[in-house]
Structure 1
Amino acid sequence: MGIKRTRKRKIKRKNRFIPTIRNKYLRWIMRAVVYFLAITIGCVILLRFINPPITFLMIQRGVERKSEGKDWKITKKWVKYSELSDNLKKAAVSGEDARFMEHWGFDRKAIADAYQRNKDGGKLRGGSTISQQTAKNVFLWPGRSWIRKGFETYFTALIELFWGKKRILDVYLNVIETGDGLYGAEAATQHYYGKSAQSLTKRQAALLIAVLPNPRRWSPVKPTAFINRKANLIVRYMGYSQVP
């Protein structure tokens, strides 16, 4: 009888111990989630008022240049939204995200079209909006993975909620990679055209946006036939584009 009672006590203690462990891990997980939300939301709100000083892509490109024996090069200059050419804003929307003013960060039609094209064996392409690209450029590391895509979705929703369209387009045009070691519209226009982004013509703005998928391979001042065709389409659609 004494042995049985001892076993029962041990079993009871063990059964009490298991929920204690579970509750402990659950508290850790909940605490981590709360900290993550507080830190990320705080950063997003902060960057609504403070311009991002650097991005992970800038750091990666700098490291790549150093590994190739080149100098670390990050050329950028932040320009206020009001000082950016309307031609550039309209070219960005026309070439990168035609429904920018209509969606809440995700263009379902563009995503569906991209999925169908990829499924049919066409050239692989994504359906990323300007909001998604901005979230990726500012808050995340370069690369492709489902984890990074999940974080991109999260940060896209946050900047749509806390920033609004004007701030999103402002940050996008000031941090995008526009050439080898060049970031933002102002650095690009100074380098390629020798003038400010405030005075870009429609054609110049369209060419600058047309090379964005691979600005280290293509140049707006030496456009290929493909880039010229793309720029022509952008100019055509600029007349219909709405910007904040």
Structure 2
Amino acid sequence: MTEVRTPAAPTAIVTGAARGIGAATAIKLAADGMAVAVLDLDADNCASTVDTIEAAGGRAAAFDADVTDAEQVDKVVQRVADELGAPTVLVNNAGVTRDNLLFKMTDDDWDTVVNVHLRGAFLMSRAVQSHITTVGWGRIVNLSSTSALGNRGQANYAAAKAGLQGFTKTLAIELGRFGATVNAVAPGFTVTDMTAAAAARAGVDFDELKSTMASQIAVRRVGKPEDIANVIAFLASEDAAFVSGQVLYVSGGPAA
């Protein structure tokens, strides 16, 4: 049996990395020695993440692409390979919400959420897998959510996040023979710009929401982006070489 070894300095792509969980993940992976492509719709929004990485002695660069656009995805992955090295670690974190009850949910609400989460993960994974199979080592981590178990007003988001779990398990089967592992992380309530914006749209005071959510979580606090980033970093490491096709709920307690 051939032992699969991690490349000396892997290159990682983190999508949706301008802020929140994506930014925390990019910073953590860079601290672990990876060159990191910080990817978002607008590269200018990634400057803070890149600056933080570089100030700590890491290597990173900002890239922009719409993860739902196949041509843009293929081009940006090639740019990453040219500028930072062949990407063999991919964190599919890019996401949006368009919450509404089913009878109010529009076609665009549905399509936007499903396309960003599911189509985006598919296109990015397809583009990166050629580098993984060439190198013979890789890590893909998909961001699911506890909402995959069902959440009122999030039929689109729940469906997309549940779909990512099936996608994860299938890629684990297909890519395992090439030295790759594929896993999903499903965060519970985590303090990010996205959750703050969702609260604002619902007319809910965010501090009150955090307090309410914390009271319902076993560890009696809400999640931080770094909590999720630490788990992603473990799954992207050699320490997790025998973990694949799994969905890890990071929610401060039992997920259901």
Same fold (TM over 0.5): no
Normalised by the length of structure 1, the TM-score is: 0.23
Normalised by the length of structure 2, the TM-score is: 0.22
Larger Rg computed on CA atoms: 1
The structure with higher relative contact order (CA 8 Å, sep 6+) is 1
More strand by share: 2
